[in-house]
Amino acid sequence: MHKDIVILINSKKFTEAFNLVVKTYNKRLYWHIRRLVVNHDDADDVLQNTFLKVWRALPNFRSDANIYTWLYRIATNESLTFLKKKRQDVNYDDVAFTIEKNLEADVFFDGDEIQLKLQKAIAALPEKQRAVFNLRYFEEMNYREMAEVLETSEGALKASYHHAAKKIEAFFKNH
């Protein structure tokens, strides 16, 4: 798929390339964003903003770059920006409580009790650790790809993932 998209971009067929990007990555990006912002409606809004940025940036896409990591970088940045704006209105404890309550009331969440507990533990993580954990655990990205998406060093990501995993483990022990 990557090659097809790059060929379309290089041929200046941006509408076709964009349609293929949306068709190929819509669901994966939605769930990546959803794991970061938790709420379905917020995830839809962030996904729309992500695709708007992708559309605007397609003509400048470097064909030597990886579409997958480029899209995830945009989606992650949009998610973190959204969370930062949302956090300005309330304190961190309120955000964690709201995330937990949203998960319990979410009609789109169909997981069992353990999955709900895992999502609550992830929701309690600081935003950047949540992003690192989600990329590694759910998207199964390697540290090199994650470094490209999050624009940080592999060493920092390994430490961040380790801390996130320890916090999740502690959450399970204490709840």
Instruction: Render 41-96 in DSSP notation, one character per residue.
Output: HHHHHHHHHHHHHHHHHGGG--TTS-HHHHHHHHHHHHHHHHHHHHHTTS-HHHHH
pTM of the shown model: 0.76
What range defines the domain where residue 28 resides?
2-174
Task: Give residue 111's pLDDT band: very low, low, confident or very high (50, 70, 90).
Answer: low
Q: What is the CATH number of the domain that holds 86?
A: 1.10.1740.10
Predicted local confidence at residue 18, as pLDDT = 97
Q: What mean pLDDT comes out for the span 133-142?
A: 89
The predicted-structure confidence for 139-159, as pLDDT tens digits, reads as follows 889 999 999 888 899 999 999
The domain tally of the chain equals 1
The predicted-structure confidence for 38-57, as pLDDT tens digits, reads as follows 788 999 999 999 999 999 99
CA distance 136 to 58: 26
